[in-house]
Amino acid sequence: MAEILAPKVVVIGGGPGGYVAAIRCGQLGLDTVLVEADRLGGTCLIRGCIPSKALIHAASAFAAMADAARVPHFGVSLPAPPKLDFAATVAWKDSIVDRLNGGVAGLMKRAKVKVVQGWARFSDAKTCEVVTVSGIVTIRAEHVILATGSIPAQLPGLPMGGKVIDSAGALSLDRLPERLVVVGAGYIGLELGTVFAKLGSQVTIVEAGDRILPHHDARLTEPVRLWLEGHGVRLLLGAKVAGEKGEGLEIATADGEILVLPADAILVTAGRKPLTEGWGREAMALELAEGFAKIDDCCATSTAGVWAIGDLVGEPMLAHKASAQGEMVAEIIAGKRRRFDPAAIPAICFTEPEIVTVGLGPDAPGTVTGQFPFAANGRALSMDAGDLGGFVRVVARADRGRIVGVQAVGAHVSELAAAFTTAIEMGAVAGDIASIIHAHPTLGEAFREATLNVLGHAIHT
């Protein structure tokens, strides 16, 4: 049966950008409809951040047990190697996704947001049609928030299908691939490659650039490279992919040698691209900028009353950026004065070990750095994580010591991201953090010691 809705706001996409925008709209009393073609939670919750972190956790537990069975460590040993029921591991991951998906549905109800399930297609800037299981729903809203997200980029010559899979496919495999080739050494490829290496697959990572994680500085990525190489992951840098051949993937190595890498699965993680097609962008007269929806600092697009957020609008393509933009746009629509102008957006690679980057890097002009190694941090050592070559590095303005960037590499450093970002957003100088008493023994003490090093007097180095 045809239905016509005329809410104040329609949100397209139920990922961390769209669903957060919709909840905030609801909280602010705006009559809101959210349209999602798939499951609430989007890429992040259903086939990205959450399932990948769940598998990382399970794989780490398995690897720790397998290590204990091989070599006793701190007095702990296992009489036999652990067994992996891969299907059960994937089912456990799915149960976490299901739980969070249900949680988002509950939050929608509580915020009085109506959810329409189906694909939205616009016929003009403010009107879309959604084909649902119970008929066509036409929605005409005063404000449109576009949060259509992104999809995996494909490589020419390596189309998806068969053993060629994307990250979503890798998170839902029904059996562990004995031999996995990962194409692309960005954070998604490395996180997933590490999962499968820990679970026992033979993993080869093929990267066109000359380093892993090319957007990070080499000092920061060195512990990750050492871990990969130390755990039997083959890294082929400067290599070009030709395509599927015979039993695997044909590549040209950095030396020009042609190799066929045998593979049971070929995981392509060659970046993601914004989803700008298929929902009627042309009918809305929306402009693009470098392939992304063009927005101003309020996330307003080139068409009045149409807003765009999240992966659709550009880098960093991260869930927390999408959510922050979503909350902001809801508040602007509700009449508040807001602008998207964060001092820093944290980014984390949940690799082995983890990497956090926030704000400016060590090469920023007019800055000085202070660094502190986890090898001198009691908590890192007591968690058996002091020997990975990890450290915290603080980047501060040379004149007054204002902290403008922090980077860290080491086990569990993801949990320090909030402290780093808070320091930058609150305009802290190195002396502010240095003068705060940090609990002992914690990894956070390494942050304080790095700020002391900016001031030239760290205690433990």
Positions that interact with ligand FAD (CB under 6 A): 12-18, 35-38, 42-44, 48-49, 52, 119-120, 147-150, 167, 188, 275, 279, 310-312, 317-320, 322
Cβ-based nearer residue to ligand FAD, 15 or 444? 15
CB of 349 to ligand FAD, least distance (A): 8
The three state secondary structure string of 269-310 is CCCEEECCCCCCHHHHCCCEECCEECCCCCCECCCCCEEECH
CB of 436 to ligand FAD, least distance (A): 27
CB of 324 to ligand FAD, least distance (A): 11
CB of 286 to ligand FAD, least distance (A): 13
Cα-Cα-Cα-Cα dihedral of 36, 41, 47, 51, to 10°?
-160
Cβ-based nearer residue to ligand FAD, 324 or 450? 324
Cβ-based nearer residue to ligand FAD, 58 or 120? 120
Residue with tokens 């576009």, as numbered in its chain: 146
| Known catalytic residue at 440 | yes
Cβ-based nearer residue to ligand FAD, 14 or 390? 14
Cβ-based nearer residue to ligand FAD, 21 or 385? 21
Cβ-based nearer residue to ligand FAD, 36 or 327? 36
CB of 14 to ligand FAD, least distance (A): 5
CB of 316 to ligand FAD, least distance (A): 8
C-alpha span between 190 and 213 (Å, rounded): 8
Cβ-based nearer residue to ligand FAD, 18 or 444? 18
Contact 260, 245 (CB under 8 A): yes
Single out the catalytic residue among 231, 440, 457, 460: 440
Q: What is the rounded radius of gyration, in angstroms, for the C-alpha atoms of the chain?
A: 24
CB of 33 to ligand FAD, least distance (A): 11
Q: Which two tokens stand for residue 453?
A: 């090093």
CB of 159 to ligand FAD, least distance (A): 19
Residue 17: closest CA among 150, 147, 151, 145: 147
Cβ-based nearer residue to ligand FAD, 76 or 288? 288
- Both ends of the chain: CA-CA distance in Å? 72
CB of 121 to ligand FAD, least distance (A): 7
Cβ-based nearer residue to ligand FAD, 152 or 444? 152
Residues with catalytic function? 440
